[in-house]
Structures are given as C-alpha cells and as structure tokens.
Chains A and B, each alone.
Chain A
Amino acid sequence: AQKVTQAQTEISVVEKEDVTLDCVYETRDTTYYLFWYKQPPSGELVFLIRRNSFDEQNEISGRYSWNFQKSTSSFNFTITASQVVDSAVYFCALSSFRNTPLVFGKGTRLSVIA
C-alpha cells in the first residue's frame, strides 16, 4: 500500500524564519515519484516539484529547497526566510508505476506572521 504522512498539521512562524515541512512516505515500489503542492487561501493547487526515486540530490529553487532521503523515506521541504505569501497548505504526494494517481498526505497548514 502507498501512504504519505505529514505529521505536522499546522505550523506557525514569524516572517523571515526558516521552516521545514516534513513528509514521510511508504511504498513497495522501487520506481516512484514524489511531489509537493501548495494550496494558497484562494484554494487552487499549485505544483511545486516532482522528484523521482532514483535522484536523491537535493534541489533548491529560490527560497525553496527539498531534501530527499530514501534511507528514511522522507522528502522534506524547507522554506528559507519565510514570507507572508508563503502562508498556505502544503501537500506532499506520491505516485508510482503501479499506482498511477497521486496519493496525498493530509497537508500541513503553514501560517507566516508578519
């Protein structure tokens, strides 16, 4: 069975603080993809990143960075110098060749306070 766990339900930080959102996944497949989506207050789901199971290199995009560790089945997301506009619900998701659709975690609600 495939499962994504985001243990942090809600996080609140002060602007300019760094924050890490945790994601732990379960799958028996060796080939899979991991995703992060952002859902701002407006409600739409915005794609942030997709990583495949064979690429464990960390990725940085501006203030966003992702740490993928197969040894711990984790795909954590860090926002550096958080801003109020980062306030949103962030979802981690998993997909594999044997399970086409995305399996989502329950999401982490991030509130960045000015």
Chain B
Amino acid sequence: DAGVIQSPRHEVTEMGQEVTLRCKPISGHDYLFWYRQTMMRGLELLIYFNNNVPIDDSGMPEDRFSAKMPNASFSTLKIQPSEPRDSAVYFCASSLGLVIISEQFFGPGTRLTVL
C-alpha cells in the first residue's frame, strides 16, 4: 500500500491567501484525522472524520479553517485567509477502526509557511 499521501509537501504563501492541503488516506481506512504541529503547541488534533462524516472539529482554531471529506479517498483542509501564525506542519492520518484497536498511520506532512 502507498500509505497516507499528502500534498503539497511544502507550501509557501502570503498572508491573506487561501491555502488548500490535500490528503489521500490508506484505502479501506474509515477514520481520517488532521493534526497541526508547532513548536509551541506540539501536535494538536484539528478534526477527524469517520466514514467521511466529521465527528469532532473542536480543535479547529477558528472559522478560517475548514475541512471536507467528499469521499473515502480524499480530504482537504482549507485555510482562508491564511495568517503567519498558521505556519506549521499539518499531518493527515488514517486508521481502520478506532485508534484504540488500530494503528494510526500518518502521512509525511505538509510544511506550511505563511509570510
């Protein structure tokens, strides 16, 4: 299997621009997670889906952030408008079943820099 695929791997944008991060989970996995990693806050869960349905988005920082999962093989995390404090590494992860019974596989991450 190809593993969790994220694109782009690196994104540099200017403040105010819209940013879209993409994720393809491992085929057959029914849970998808979006995390953000910063030096200050560590790894934070932003939102997760089960069978394409958002289950918990309480970690989404503010209305500028939105996530969708239109089908089982694709998810996006959008930031509009982007701000310098959004600079971070964004990870997508997927699992087959609940995390407590199934390993969570992480993608390589997208390093976002907002100037």
Which residues of A approach B to under 8 Å, CB–CB?
A: 31-33, 37, 43-45, 47, 50, 52, 91, 95-97, 100-107
Contacts and interface: CB of A to CB of B under 8 A. Distances in A.
Contacts of A100: 31, 48, 55-56, 98-100
A104 B106 CA distance: 14
B88 to A, nearest CB: 12
Nearest to B31: A100
A106 B41 CA distance: 7
19 contacts: A31-B100, A33-B99, A37-B106, A43-B109, A43-B111, A44-B106, A44-B107, A44-B108, A44-B109, A52-B100, A95-B100, A97-B98, A97-B100, A101-B99, A102-B33, A102-B99, A103-B45, A104-B43, A107-B42
B40 to A, nearest CB: 10
Interface in B86-115: 89, 91, 93, 98-101, 103-109, 111
Contacts of A91: 43
A110 to B, nearest CB: 16
B39 to A, nearest CB: 10
A63 to B, nearest CB: 21
B109 A102 contact: no
Contacts of B98: 95, 97, 100
Interface residues of B, number: 23
Contacts of A96: 100
B45 A102 contact: yes
Contacts of B104: 47, 102
Nearest to A105: B42
B42 A104 contact: yes
A47 B99 contact: no
A66 B33 CA distance: 26
B89 A43 contact: yes
Given A100-B98, A101-B33, A101-B48, A47 B42 contact: no
A21 to B, nearest CB: 15
